[in-house]
Structure 1
Amino acid sequence: MSEKSEIQLESTTTSLQQNEKNAEPHTINVQENLETSELKKETNNVAAMRNFYVISFGYIFFTLTDSGLRMIVLLQLYDKHFNALQISIMFTLYEFFGVIINLTGGIMGSRLGIRVCLVSGLFVQVVGIAMLCGLKDKWSSWSSLTIIIYVTIAQGFSGIAKDLVKLGGKSVTKLVTKDDNLYQSALFKLVAWITGAKNSVKGAGFFWGALILLYAGYIPALLILLAMNLIIIPFALIYVDHDLAVSKSKKKLTFKEIFNKGRDVNILSFARMFLFGSRDLWFEVPLPLYLRGPVGWSYLGTGAFLAGWIIFYGVIQSTLFLKFITLETNFTLLIIILIIGLFIFAFIFAINSSIHSFLILAYCHKDKVAMNVGFYYMANAMGRLVGLIVGGVLYYYFELDACLWASVCALIFCTIVSCFLGPIPENQDEQAKP
C-alpha cells in the first residue's frame, strides 16, 4: 500500500472516530430528554390524582355535613310547629343561590381555579352554621316571620357553599382523565364512583344529623358539623393545585357564551332540570314531614329511611347493580306500596343521574369544564328550586299524592327532552364545537 493511501485511511478512521464522539453527547441528550419527559409526565399524573383524591374526599366529607345540617334544620323546624309551606320557603334561598352560584361559580372556577371555589365554599358553610347557632335562645322570643327570614338567609349561605364545593367535586373527574378517544370508559367509572359515593354519604348524613340532634341537642349538633367543615380546609389549601381548572383562554365572556354551551349541553341541562325537579317535588320537604307527621315516625326512623333511600340510590349510581331489599311486613299496605315505589324510583333515577353526570363531562371541553359543569348544575339547582316550592305548596294544600303525580309529569318532560340529545363526541375537537 502506498504512503498516500495509508494517510487517507488514517484520515478516514480519525474522522469516523470524531463523528462517533460528536454523536455520543447527542444520544445522551436525547435519552436525558426522554427520561425528563417521562418523569414530568409521571409527576403530572401523580399531581392530577392527588387533586382528585383531595377534592373528591373533601366533597364527600362536606356532603356528610351538609345533608346532616339539612336534616337537623328540617326536624327542628317541624318540632317548632312550622308547616310544610313555611319550611319550603326557608329552603328557597338555598336552592336559589344554587342557580346563581352554579352559573357564576363556573366562571369563577375558570378564572381562579377549583381550589378557590372549594375553600370559599367551606368558609361560607361555616358562616351559615354559625348563624343557625344564633337561634339558640330566639325560638320563643322572635316572631315566626323573623325566624323564617333568618333561617332563609342562613340556608342561603349553605346553598352558596354547597354549589361552590360541588363544582370542584364534579369537575375534577374530567381533569384527571386522558384526552384520547378511549377516555369515556374511565371517565364514566370515575363519575359513577364519585356521584354514587357522594349520594351514599348524603344518605348517611341524613341519619347522622338525626342521630346527633337526638342525642346531643340542637346547638352541640351544629357545632359538630361546623368543626367537621373546618377540618377539610387545610388539606384543600395544601394539596390542591392553585391553577387547577383555570381556563387558558383570556378573552372576556359574552352573555351569549355564558348561556349557549352548545346544543347537547343545553338540552342535557334542560332535561336535568326536569329530572331533579321530579325528585324534589316530594323528597326534600313533603316526604320527611309525612313520615314525621301522619306516619308518626321518630327522628331516627325518619332519618334512617331517608338515609336508606339515598344510600340505595348512591349504590346504584356507583355500581349500577341492584341488590335485593327486604322490607318489614308490619306497616300498613299504603306505607309498603309507598316504600316499594320510592325504591323503584331511586333505582331508575340513579341510573339516569349517572348517565347525565357522565354526558355533561363527555360533551364539554377540558379548558372550559368548570364553566360548562357550572351551567349544567345551574339547571340542576333550578329544578330543585322549582321542585321545592311546588312540592311544598302541593303538600300543604293537597297532601303527598299530588306531589307524586307532579313528579310523574316532570319525568315525562325529562324523557321527551332527552330524546333530542346528540351522540357522544369522539375527541376533544368535536367537544369544542358549539
Structure 2
Amino acid sequence: MRFSFRTLSDDIKQYLIITGNYWAFTLTDGALRMLVVLHFHNLGYQPLEIASLFLFYEFFGVITNLFGGWLGARIGLNKTMNIGLFLQIIALSMLLVPEDMLIVPWVMAAQALSGVAKDLNKMSAKSAIKTLVPKNAEDQLYKWVALLTGSKNALKGIGFFIGGLLLSLIGFQQTIIAMATALFAIWLFSLISIKSDLGRAKNKAKFTDIFSKSPAINSLSAARLFLFGARDVWFVIALPVYLSTAFRWDHWTVGGFLALWVIAYGIVQSIAPRITGVKSKKRQSINVPPDGKSAINYAFCLAFIPACIALALTFDFHTQASLLIGLLLFGAVFAVNSSLHSYLIVSYAKEDGASLDIGFYYMANALGRLIGTVLSGWIFQEYGLIACLWVSSSFLLITSVISLGLPRLKPQEV
C-alpha cells in the first residue's frame, strides 16, 4: 500500500510537521555543542573553561521556560516554535565572525541565545501534543510523548557525530553556514505549515499564571529538578574529564562513547511505554499509562546505581568495567524515568493553555540541569567523581520522596 501524506488526518499531519521541526532543530543543537567543544579544545581551552561556555545556555533555559509557556498561551505555539527556530539561526550566525573575535563572552552570548531557542522549541513541541491528542486517550498521549522525547535525544547524539564529522571535513565556519542555511529553509516551511492558533489559550493568560497552582504539577516539577540534577552532577563535566584522565581516552573516544550513550538513551525513551505499560483489567488490549507510583518506583531503583558505582570505585573493584556497565544501566533506567515524567506533565497540564504548566515544569528541568552542571564542575574539582556519584544518589532519593505527592490511578481505572 502506497503511503500518502495527504490521506492523513490534520492532527497526524501537524504532529509529523512539529516532530520534523523539532528533529531538525535538535540535530543542529547537538552538532553545535560538539562544534564548540572540539573547536575550543583545539584552541587550547581546558575542559572546565569549555564547560563554562554552556552555563548561559542552561541559565537562559530556566528563564525561557518560565516565561515561554505564558508567551505560548498568549500568542500560540506556532509562533513560539518559529521564534525558537529563528533565534537558533541568529545564534549560529553569531559564530561566523572572524576567529579572533570568538572570545568567551561572545560565544557565551551565542550559547545563551541558543538556550533560549532550544527551550522555546522544546516547550512548544511538547505542549502542542496536548492539543492534538483526543481527550482521555492517555495511552496514545504517552506513546506520542515518548516517541517525540526519545527521538529528540537519539538525534541529539547523532548531531554530536555530525558536528565532529563536518568539522573535520569542511571546517568550523563552513559547517555553521551549512546548518544555518538548512535551518532557514525549515523555518520558512514551518511558517506556512503549522496551524496559526495552535495552543493559544481561549482565556487570556495572565502573567501571574506562569507559576503553577496545581499540587501535582508542583510536585512533579520539584521531582524533575532533582532528577536532572542527579544526572548532570556527574555526567556533564565529571564523567568526560574522568574518562580522559583516569582511563587515558582521547577526546574522540570520549565524545563518540557519550554520543552513542545519548542515542541509546533516546531509543529507550521511545520504547518506554512498552516497558512501563500495564494491561487494563477491564480491556486487555489497552495499556494503562504509568502514574505517581511508577515515578516513585523507578526513581528509587535508579538511586542505587550511582551508589553502587561509587562503592566499586572506592574499593577499586574492576573500575573501568564497573563505571561503564553502571553508566549503561543508569542511562536505561534514567531514560524510562525521563519519558515517564514527560508523559505525566503533558497529562497533568490543563487543556486550555497547556504551555503554561509545561513551561513551568521545564523551567524546573532547566534549573536542575544548571545546578547539576555547576555542582559537577565544583564537586569533581574539589572531591572527585565518587563524591559526584553520592550526590547523584542523594538527589534521586529526594526525587523519590517528592514523588510521593504525585496522583495515583484509582483501582477501578486499572
TM-score by length of 1: 0.79
- Amino acid corresponding to residue 142 of structure 2 in structure 1: F
Picking from 316, 324, 331, the partner of 2:268 is 316
- Amino acid corresponding to residue 161 of structure 1 in structure 2: A
Q: Is the 8 A contact 2:61 2:119 kept in 1?
A: yes
Indicate the SS of the match to 2:44.
Answer: coil
Q: Is the 8 A contact 2:69 2:210 kept in 1?
A: no
| Equivalence for 1:274 | 226
| Equivalence for 2:279 | none
Picking from 54, 70, 79, the partner of 1:91 is 54
Indicate the SS of the match to 1:281.
Answer: helix
> Would you say 1:171 and 2:156 are equivalent positions?
no
Q: Is the 8 A contact 1:211 1:300 kept in 2?
A: no
Q: Map 1:348-367 onto structure 2 (within 5 A).
A: 348-367=333-352
Distance in 2 (alpha carbons) for counterparts of 1:197 and 1:291: 27
Q: Percent identity?
A: 40
Q: Is the 8 A contact 2:70 2:205 kept in 1?
A: no
Change (3 A) 1:364 1:138: closer
Q: 1:295-337 deviations in whole A, cap 9, x for unaligned?
A: 4434442232112111111111111368xxxxxxxxx942222
Q: Is the 8 A contact 1:271 1:414 kept in 2?
A: yes
Distance in 1 (alpha carbons) for counterparts of 2:410 and 2:11: 23
Gaps of 5+ in 1: 1-42, 140-146, 323-331, 427-434
Indicate the SS of the match to 2:54.
Answer: helix
Distance in 2 (alpha carbons) for counterparts of 1:245 and 1:269: 21
Gaps of 5+ in 2: 1-5, 276-316
Picking from 236, 239, 246, the partner of 2:193 is 239
Q: Is the 8 A contact 1:85 1:396 kept in 2?
A: no
Deviation at 1:198, TM superposition (A): 0.9
Change (3 A) 1:356 1:251: closer
Q: Is the 8 A contact 1:359 1:424 kept in 2?
A: no
Q: Is the 8 A contact 2:61 2:366 kept in 1?
A: yes
| Equivalence for 2:399 | 414
| Equivalence for 2:240 | 288
Distance in 2 (alpha carbons) for counterparts of 1:108 and 1:59: 19
Q: Map 1:26-425 onto structure 2 (within 5 A).
A: 46-134=9-97, 136-138=99-101, 147-179=103-135, 181=136, 183-250=137-204, 252-254=206-208, 257-320=209-272, 333-423=318-408
RMSD, aligned α-carbons: 2.3
Distance in 1 (alpha carbons) for counterparts of 2:170 and 2:251: 13
Q: Is the 8 A contact 1:50 1:240 kept in 2?
A: no
Change (3 A) 1:161 1:416: same
Change (3 A) 1:184 1:209: same
Distance in 2 (alpha carbons) for counterparts of 1:86 and 1:346: 26
| Equivalence for 2:291 | none
**Bigger mean CA offset, 100-109 vs 283-292:** 283-292
**Bigger mean CA offset, 298-307 vs 102-111:** 298-307
Change (3 A) 1:178 1:162: same
Q: Is the 8 A contact 1:214 1:299 kept in 2?
A: no
Runs of 4+ in 1 over 4 A off after TM superposition: none
Deviation at 1:169, TM superposition (A): 1.5
Deviation at 1:292, TM superposition (A): 4.3
- Amino acid corresponding to residue 193 of structure 2 in structure 1: Y
Indicate the SS of the match to 2:202.
Answer: coil
Distance in 2 (alpha carbons) for counterparts of 1:251 and 1:213: 44
Deviation at 1:63, TM superposition (A): 0.6
Deviation at 1:184, TM superposition (A): 0.8
Deviation at 1:74, TM superposition (A): 1.7
Deviation at 1:293, TM superposition (A): 4.7
Count of aligned positions: 364
Distance in 2 (alpha carbons) for counterparts of 1:381 and 1:120: 19
Q: Is the 8 A contact 2:17 2:194 kept in 1?
A: yes
| Equivalence for 1:35 | none
Change (3 A) 1:186 1:124: same
Deviation at 1:111, TM superposition (A): 0.8
Distance in 2 (alpha carbons) for counterparts of 1:67 and 1:425: 41
Change (3 A) 1:425 1:127: farther
Deviation at 1:294, TM superposition (A): 4.6
Q: Is the 8 A contact 1:274 1:414 kept in 2?
A: yes
Q: 1:378-397 deviations in whole A, cap 9, x for unaligned?
A: 00000011111111122333
Change (3 A) 1:213 1:394: farther
Indicate the SS of the match to 1:366.
Answer: coil
Q: Is the 8 A contact 2:89 2:184 kept in 1?
A: yes
Change (3 A) 1:365 1:133: same
Deviation at 1:425, TM superposition (A): 9.3
